[in-house]
Amino acid sequence: MAFSQVSKMRPQLVPVASQAISFFPYFYNFRRMDSERNKRQPVTSIETKYGTLGPVDHVKYEANGQASFCIPVGPIHVDTPLGRFTTQHTTDDMRRPKVEPLLFHPNGALKSIALETRTTVDTPLGPMAAELLSFYPCGSLRRVFPLNGKLSGYWGEKEEATLTAPMTITTPAGPITALLVGVQFYPGGQLRSVTLWPDESVEIDTPIGRQTARIGVAFHKSGALRSFEPQRMLTVPTALGEMMAYDPDALGIHGDLGSLSFHEDGSTAGLSTPMNTLEVTLPDGSVRKFTPEKVPNLCDERVMNTKPLWIGFYPGKISVGDEFPEFFPLAGHQFKVGRMLQDILGPIGYACGSSF
């Protein structure tokens, strides 16, 4: 293209650029006004079954007119059957960068409350220090969290752990002493689950003997052990014979459901197995084969981890798979449990450089 042609085109580009530049202040002012409008949301009080609560803002209501969500902007004292609690209303830059909302169930009962300071709470297990509490719609205590700090690049698990200490609680599986993330109860007050701090482990009584649990332990209402996360690979009796139970990459979010679970009578209700395969012969003679999957490691996609195969055991039938389970009646089907050679060929999982 000749220089003269370029020169002739250049003036056509100027108005377009000028329009873009002139538009920016209007766009910026619009965003600034919108931000200021959000900051100026009115501070108010709300009527609840616990009395008039305030000051709060960002209030949300249910269709029935009950408040369901609000942000405390000052100290609010809430009188509950467990005592008077003061809501969190201040922040710090490190572990509590924002004020947690006060939540209510549709019937008006308190659902969740973050506390301004760690407060001793009377629980079915005795007094416990807590920074966050949740409740059932009936008003009974659901969860107790000793700490409620937000982890970030500036505040990690090690820093958070310095603010707590091991707690000893009595469980149907025996007393345990450990750093606890949280405890959950049934509406009737029975212990439902215990979630352990990362890298913590405890000794518990199980239907297959004394075992070491990590991440968490859960119970039936009767007190019978419902599930736990094994610290190591376990040989477990099942309706199909002995199988290996373990999850090398178990999520440590909560202890409500582990990779080994039991019915109330102590029989195996389900397990995650990284080592066993299952072959099912259907009544028509066709065969279905199930094996643990291979998935990329989160830290290095070149490394493949073993995703355990979940098998559930029910009266008269079994299920295979967790996300989309397939059910097979015991009657009319043949089952053959096999074993992978992964324990010979290599480790079943890597944790960013280390192997299980």
Where on the phi/psi map is residue 346: left (φ > 0), alpha (ψ -120 to 50), or beta? left
Q: Are 112 and 133 spatial neighbours (Cβ–Cβ below 8 Å)?
A: yes
Smallest CA-to-CA distance from 55 within 42, 65, 68 is with 42
Q: Nearest Cα to 197, choosing from 163, 239, 226?
A: 163
- Select from 346, 340, 344, 350 the least CA-distant residue to 303: 350
State the DSSP code for 274: S
Distance CA 313, CA 240 (A): 9
Is residue 298 very low, low, confident or very high in pLDDT (cuts 50, 70, 90)? confident
- Percent of the chain beyond pLDDT 70? 83
Residues whose CB is less than 8 angstroms from the CB of residue 79 and which lie 6 or more positions away in sequence, other chains included: 50, 51
More confident position, 15 or 198? 198
* pLDDT interval class at 303 (50, 70, 90): confident
Determine which of 60-64, 101-105, 157-161, 257-261 has the lowest per-residue pLDDT on average. 157-161
Band of the pLDDT at 33, cuts 50, 70, 90?
very low
Say how many C-beta atoms besides its own lie within 10 A of residue 219's C-beta. 22
CA distance 299 to 302: 9
Q: Which range among 232-236, 240-244, 340-344 shows the weakest confidence by mean pLDDT?
A: 340-344
For the four alpha carbons of 238, 215, 169 and 176, in that order, the dihedral sign comes to positive
Question: What is the separation, in whole angstroms, between the first and last Cα of the chain?
Answer: 65
Quick check: 260 and 313 in contact, CB under 8 A? no
Q: Output the average pLDDT for the chain.
A: 85
Q: Residues 6 or more apart from 199 whose CB is under 8 A from it?
A: none
Q: Are 215 and 252 in contact (CB under 8 A)?
A: yes
Radius of gyration over every alpha carbon of the chain, rounded to an integer in angstroms:
28
The strand order across the sheet containing 334-339 reads 287-290, 276-281, 334-339
Residue 39 clears pLDDT 50, i.e. is over it: no
Closest to 171 (Cα-Cα) out of 158, 184, 181 = 184
Percentage of the chain beyond pLDDT 90 is: 68
Q: Which stretch of DSSP H or E encloses residue 129? A: strand 126-135
Reported confidence tier of residue 304, pLDDT bands at 50, 70, 90: confident
Q: Is the pLDDT of residue 6 over 90?
A: no
Give the distance from CA 53 to its chain's centroid: 30
CA 14/CA 12 separation, integer angstroms? 6
* 44 vs 225 pLDDT, higher one: 225
Considering the entire predicted model, what is its pTM? Answer: 0.82
Asked if the model's pLDDT at residue 297 lies above 80, the reply is no
